[in-house]
Amino acid sequence: MELGKHNEALRCYKNAINIKKDFAEAHSNFGNALKRLKRLDEAAVSFGNAIRINQHIDFVLGDLIYTKMNLCLWDNLLSDLEDLEKKINSNEKTLKPFPSLALIDDPMTQKKLAEIYANERFIKSDALSITSNKSKPLKIRLGYFSPDFRNHAVSSLISELFEIHDRDQFEIHAFYFGPATSDEMNLRIKASVDYYHDVRELAHKDVAKLARNVKLDIAIDLCGYTQDCRPEIFAARAAPLQLSYLGYPGTMGAEFMDYIIADKIIIPKKSQKYYSEKIIYMPDCYQVNISSRVITEKKFSRQELGLPNSGFIFCSFNNSFKISPTIFSGWMRILKNVENSILWLYDDSGNIEKNLKKEAKKHGVNENRLIFANYKPGIDNFSNRIKLVDLFLDSIPYNAHTMASDTLRMGVPVLTCMGDSLASRVAASLLRAVNMNELITNSQEEYELLAIELAVNSQKIKRVKDKLVRNLPSAKLYNTSLFTRHLESAYVNIYERLQNGQSADHIYI
């Protein structure tokens, strides 16, 4: 499994189950391998088998619920969530940090879950020194760590940053541990850094040793607890200063992470206590972007994309696990109040469409008003396709992140509802960075009413779209040079604090 050989892992787990039918851990691991192969229906069955054998098996209830969320299977979700809440309150190992972002809009609970997970999984290593490099280097050495230096949302945001980092001040290293690839984005990143380290086959501690051997000053983790993550590298101390940024929208709950990069919207001052890291506050928006995208000149018609010739088009191209029953019910109420409107969704598996159409029927909405795109967002002319959309409906509590900034870039308004957790406040941060505060709501009711108003009032939606288009050329969200200067200022600040013997503290740029 750790080597990414998921089919081979399946065979091993199946053999184990054949030998010992009531081996709960084998059923759980079998489910995880199936999940990585996108065989989600089968994965849910395996997780269910593990729980029936041992209802207290670590983290499997959370895996089952998260798998069902990916499939938009909500039949027993309420009772599952009640069971989950009881186990969380009893400090049981029941939910991994990443799924909690879509299930819980409470940063205090998310921190608790992250701490339980970090304490269970990672042993802080004393094998490597955590002192700073005593002699000041000519350049501060930055190391960016990720499994996503390829055609992936993270790289689509950060690639230009690597290219324009100030080489008089900084030396840039990339540490890659994702799937083998030489795709377009991977080649771009290889060309944009000073040193590219392919560490896919190195053990965690050996990666940390390599980072120390090249004398990194600051190590930046771009994946956190997302797929293919390797926090063990940071537990072994890859650098004197270690930061969490961009890929994982929450606290790591681990004492080996010193800082998290944020802004005042996604982590307001009152929420600082819910983060194990100290906060580096960027002045405008925490999210880096590339300054411009090359968009194909191909034009799409509604008809060739399966959309009706007329009527208002809502869309939400977020991943399916972000669609909760609560927000979906809200979307159905919006459709009921906007005649001839449709909701354009994303399904890369074929399973989500049938399940959501079934849910639409339960709400008294014609299933044909849900239309599904089966291409991957971010590629395949996605940007030109989304120009046909009138209003993007954000998900709650896990917002659109890269999807939101890409959608806004194309002049399509994004309507969001701001919650309490970091993941639920990202779209609000992006909207403020393009000066579109009027699209930020603070309750489900306000969100639904504004969606309806924008859809039935053609003059109002036109004013919103026109304002967004006017704002884009000067929007700070896409000013990569300005963002880079601010980020570099943050790096210098925390580096000098360490050199001066000062402990980590909140930084305001």
Each residue's pLDDT tens digit, 303-330: 988 999 999 999 999 999 999 999 999 9
For the segment 44-70, what is each residue's pLDDT rounded down to a tens digit? 999 999 999 999 999 999 999 999 999
Alpha helices in 90-152 (DSSP H): 97-103, 107-121
Please determine, for residue 377, whether its predicted confidence score (pLDDT) is greater than 90. no
Q: Is 136 exposed, middle or buried (0-12, 13-18, 19+ CB in 10 A)?
A: exposed
Locus of tokens 């600040």: 493
pLDDT tens, position by position, 74-84 = 998 888 888 89
pLDDT at 115: 96
Interval 366-380 mean pLDDT: 76
Give me the mean pLDDT over the 421-442 stretch. 98
pLDDT at 378: 46
pLDDT at 131: 55
Cis-peptide into 397, omega within 30 deg = yes
Sheet holding 440-441, edge to edge: 370-373, 342-346, 313-316, 391-393, 414-417, 440-441
- Mean pLDDT score of the chain: 94
Q: How confident is the model at residue 379 (pLDDT cuts 50, 70, 90)?
A: very low
What pLDDT does residue 76 have? 87
> Which of the residue ranges 299-303, 398-402, 501-505 would you say has the lowest mean pLDDT?
299-303
Say what the pLDDT of residue 134 is: 58
| pLDDT higher than 60, residue 336 | yes
Give yes or no for residue 130 having a pLDDT over 70. no
What residue ranges define each of the domains in the chain, with the CATH number in brackets? Answer: 6-121 (1.25.40.10), 140-291+481-508 (3.40.50.11380), 303-476 (3.40.50.2000)
User: Taking 80 as the threshold, does the pLDDT of residue 485 lie above it?
Assistant: yes
Beta strands in 349-422 (DSSP E): 370-373, 391-393, 414-417
pLDDT of residue 241: 98
Mean pLDDT over 69-98 rounds to: 92
Contacts of 151 (CB under 8 A, 6+ apart): 181, 183, 184, 185, 186, 378, 379
More confident residue, 113 or 129: 113
- In this predicted structure, the answer to whether residue 124 has a pLDDT above a threshold of 70 is no
Residue 468: which pLDDT band, with cuts at 50, 70 and 90?
very high
**What Rg, from alpha-carbon coordinates, does the chain have?**
23
**Interval 229-256 mean pLDDT:** 97
3-state secondary structure of 197: strand
| Reported confidence tier of residue 135, pLDDT bands at 50, 70, 90 | low
What does the pLDDT average to over 485-497?
98
pLDDT in tens, 17-37: 999 999 999 999 999 999 999
So what's the pLDDT on residue 489? 98
Residue 282, burial from CB neighbour count under 10 angstroms (0-12, 13-18, 19+): buried
Sheet hosting strand 140-146, strand order edge to edge: 195-198, 170-176, 140-146, 218-221, 241-244, 259-263, 278-282, 507-508
Mean pLDDT along residues 366-395:
82
pLDDT tens readout for residues 177-229: 999 999 999 999 999 999 999 999 999 999 999 999 999 999 999 999 999 99
Position 236 scores a pLDDT of 96
Write down the pLDDT at residue 293: 86
